[in-house]
Amino acid sequence: MQDGRTTLSKFLIDTLDRKPGPEAASGLSALLIDVAASIKTIAAALTRGALGGQHGSAQSVNTHGEEQKKLDLVTNDIFLQHCEWDGLLAGMVSEEMDGVYAIPDAYPRGEYLLAFDPLDGSSNIDINGVVGSIFSVLKRAPDESHAADEASFLRPGREQVAAGYAIYGPSTMLVLSVGNGTHGFTLERDVGNFVLTHSDIRIPEDSCEFAINASNERFWEPPVRRYVQECKDGRTGCRAQDFNMRWIASMVAEVHRILMRGGVFMYPRDFKTPAMEGRLRLLYEANPMSFIVEQAGGLSITGRERILDMKARALHQRVPVILGSRNEVARIHRYHGEYDRGEDKPFTSPLFNERSLFLPETPA
Ligand code: AHG
Ligand code: MN
Ligand code: MN
C-alpha cells in the first residue's frame, strides 16, 4: 500500500531502474542511496553542534592551503565509509584529499567515479550558519580498465550521470539531478526518509537579486563591475529597477535560494590571487552545481564559456562561476563579450544621470 509520498528510493527506482536507459540497473540508484546515507549521517553530526565535540580547527591544511576544520575531515570520512564498500565505485575525489582515493582491496570495484565537497561553507560552522555537501557522479570510459587515476576524472561536466547537493538548514534537503530535471527531497528526521517535496524545480528566467562577495570588487574584471554597478544603480540606472543583494558564504545556500526564487550567484575571475583562475573548484563545486542549475532551466558560465563544456586539467582546478536565472547570466555573458571585443561603453553613475538628485546646477 502506498501512502502517496515519493521517497528517494522509490524516485530512483522509478526514474533509473524501471526506465530503459544507460543507467538502468547499473547500480547508480544504489550508489545515490549510499550518498544519501552519508548526508543523513552528516546532518545528524551537524545537529549536535558544539555538543558533538567536533567544532574548531583540525590544525591541518588541505591541498588548497586552506585550514581544515575538524568537521571538514569528519564529513570527508563519512562519505568514504558510506560509499567505498558497495562495489559501485572505481575511485573518489574530495576537496579534503590530495589525490584520487583508491577503493580498498577488501571491496569490489565498480564503474562510477564520485567527486565531492563534504562540507561546503565550512566557515559558517562556528556561527551556526547554513552549510552543505556537494557531489558529482561520472561513469568511467568504457575502454578504461586500469585503476582509476587523475585522468579518469578529467572529463567535461556535461558527462556527469548524476549530481546534487545537501543543504543543512532548518531542514535538511537533498537536491538531485540524474539528467531529467532537478528535484528536491526533504529529510523526515524522525523516520530517516528523504521525501520528494520539490518536483521539477524551475529557476525563474528573470530576477533582481544577485550574490557576490563585494569586498573583492577592486579585483573584478570590468564586465562584472559593470553588471554589479548597474544592479546597484537601481531604479535610477539603466536597468530601471531596484536589485537586492545576498551573501551567505556557502555556494550551496546561494544555489538553493536561486533554485527556489531566482537570482544570480557570482564568484568571478579576479586578480586578488593572480595564479588562481577563480575561487571555486571545478570537479566538485562548479560542475555539479552547473548540472543542477542547467537541469532547472538556468545557465552557468565562467563569464566567457559554459562550465559544463570545460575539459578539466587537474583534480583541484579552480574556475570562475556565474550561474542562475538565464536572462541575467546571458546578460553577464554578453558584457564579457562586449568587453573582450572593445565594445564596452563606459557606464554613467546614477549620481550624475538625468534623474539624479545631484545634477549639477544649470547656469541661469
Ligand atoms: P568551502 O567551505 O568548501 O571551502 O567552500 C566555500 C566557498 C563557497 O561555498 C562560498 O561561496 C565561498 O567559498 C565563500 O567565499 P568567501 O570566503 O570569499 O566569502
Ligand atoms: Mn565548497
Ligand atoms: Mn568544503
Structural domains in the chain, sorted by start: 8-198 (3.30.540.10), 209-349 (3.40.190.80)
The reply to whether ligand 1 has any atom less than 6 angstroms from the CB of 281 is no
Find the DSSP H helices in the chain: 8-12, 28-47, 70-83, 150-153, 222-233, 251-261, 287-295, 326-340
- The answer to whether the beta carbons of residues 217 and 225 sit under 8 Å apart is yes
From 123, 135, 300, mutation site for ligand 1 pocket: most ligand atoms within 8 A of C-beta: 123
- The answer to whether the beta carbons of residues 78 and 116 sit under 8 Å apart is no
**How far apart are alpha carbons 91 and 165 in whole angstroms?**
19
**How far apart are alpha carbons 163 and 26 in whole angstroms?**
16
122 in a labelled binding site: yes
120 in a labelled binding site: yes
The reply to whether ligand 1 has any atom less than 6 angstroms from the CB of 250 is yes
Q: What is the pLDDT of residue 345?
A: 67
Residue 14 CB partners (closer than 8 Å, separation 6+): 6
Residue 206, Cβ neighbours under 10 Å: how many? 10
Q: How many residues does the chain have?
A: 364
How does DSSP assign 75-114, residue by residue?
HHHHHHHHHSSSS-EEEEEETT-SSPEEPPTTS---SEEE
The reply to whether ligand 1 has any atom less than 6 angstroms from the CB of 95 is yes
* Atom 12, ligand 1: residue with shortest CA distance: 249
Spacing, Cα 195 to ligand 3 middle (Å): 26
Atom of ligand 1 nearest to the CA of 122: 2
Burial of 313 from C-beta contacts in 10 A (0-12 / 13-18 / 19+): exposed
Q: What is the pLDDT of residue 362?
A: 41
DSSP state of 192: T
31 in a labelled binding site: no
The reply to whether ligand 1 has any atom less than 6 angstroms from the CB of 121 is yes
Q: Which residue shows C-alpha cell 561603453?
A: 345
* Atom 16, ligand 1: residue with shortest CA distance: 249
Q: What is the pLDDT of residue 346?
A: 58
Distance from the Cα of residue 217 to its chain's centroid: 22
**How far apart are alpha carbons 95 and 314 in whole angstroms?**
12
**How far apart are alpha carbons 349 and 359 in whole angstroms?**
11
**How far apart are alpha carbons 181 and 291 in whole angstroms?**
10
**How far apart are alpha carbons 256 and 173 in whole angstroms?**
10
Q: In tens digits, what is the pLDDT along the chain, a chain of 364 residues?
A: 667 899 999 999 999 988 887 777 789 999 999 999 999 999 999 999 999 888 999 999 988 888 899 999 999 999 999 999 999 999 999 999 999 999 999 999 999 999 999 999 999 999 999 999 999 999 998 888 788 999 999 999 999 999 999 999 999 999 999 999 999 999 999 999 999 999 999 999 999 999 999 999 999 999 999 999 999 999 999 999 999 999 999 999 999 999 999 999 999 999 887 777 899 999 999 999 999 999 999 999 999 999 999 999 999 999 999 999 999 999 999 999 999 999 986 554 444 444 444 444 444 3
